[in-house]
Amino acid sequence: MDYFSLLPEGCISEILSFTSPKDAATSSAISRGFKSAAESDVVWEKFLPSDYQHIISKSDSLLVSPSKKELYFSLCDSPILIDGGKLSFSLDKKTGKKCFMVAARELAITWGDTPQYWEWLPHPDSRFSEVAKLIWVSWLDIRGKIETRILSKKNKYAAYLVFKLANRFYGLETVNAYVRLVGCETKHEAEERASITSLSRREEPGKKRPKRRIDGWMEIEVGTFFNHIGEDGDVEARLMEIRHLGGKSGLVVQGMEFRPEEEEDEEEEEEEEDDDVAFWRHGRVVGQRTTNPFFPSSNPGA
């Protein structure tokens, strides 16, 4: 007997709104009693940021989503441009937390406006109208800022440089990176603790390596920070190589992304891949799931 069908839909919706987007979406396959409640606007409104309407209003994109669930997954899978194309906005699919990417044109790039050093051009794979391509410099310094007040509160964030490498690149094997809250730490203090990283995927001891993204770009983590209640002013992410003044070339920059830090849990990742890979890739449940996320040992079909 499907006991869940005896519960009022509003009661089920209220319960689901206190779970996670993943649990709410997959619960629609548990029983008929859950399906309607799990897809209701009441549930998915809770997973959207409280200021999502204000953020969407700053975009020129026309979002047509019949339901809050479809809007949620649209914002997860298809970032929108806001503030005249200076930023892109999306949601973290697992948590619904806010993600922003600062366009390359809005970054502080040393010598960025000097044509003999940097070139600005459109790129077919970029979400922005133009990217920055490094022709040649000896002094590499890229900084991106964002206001903490627009980020999700009480959340740990990471900043990533999103880039590609030209077929012929050089001088990018060793760079320094850090993230700092501008009002809490000086540049000098941050430089003293900067991490050593590389924009090349070649494995080197003691250096962070870039990862390939689903969208075809690469990213390197610049640093992390905790956003308490959004009252820390600006946060700055900086990537630089200003100590060894050899030539550097072949870097293509799309932007600097600020998004919730991913928790690395291999067992959890394997389980997710087995159970819900179709859902997390496409934003919908494909196939029947028989495990109840609230009562794992129960059999809803009994």
Residues 6+ apart with CB under 8 A from 82: 55, 58, 59, 88, 89
Q: Which residues of 33-66 are buried (b: 16+ CB within 10 A; e: fewer)?
A: bbbebbbbeebbebbbbeebeebbeebeeeeeee
Fold of 6-77: Monooxygenase (1.20.1280)
Question: The pTM is what?
Answer: 0.84
Looking at per-residue confidence, does 39 or 136 come out higher? Answer: 136
Q: Tell me the per-residue pLDDT of 57-96, one tens digit each, with 9 for 90 and over.
A: 999 988 888 899 999 999 999 999 999 999 999 999 999 9
Mean pLDDT of 198-212: 84
d(CA 221, CA 225): 12
Judged against a pLDDT cut of 90, whether residue 16 lies above it is answered with no
Question: What's the helix, strand, coil split of the chain in %, to 5?
Answer: 25, 30, 40
Mean pLDDT of 29-38: 69
Judged against a pLDDT cut of 90, whether residue 272 lies above it is answered with no
For residue 2, count other CB atoms closer than 10 A to its CB. 13
- Which residue ranges make up each domain of the chain? 6-77, 84-258
Nearest CA to 222 out of 139, 137, 143 is that of 143
State residue 50's pLDDT score.
95
Architecture of the domain delimited by 84-258: Sandwich (2.60)
Judged against a pLDDT cut of 50, whether residue 209 lies above it is answered with yes
Q: Tell me the per-residue pLDDT of 163-190, one tens digit each, with 9 for 90 and over.
A: 999 999 999 999 999 999 999 999 999 9
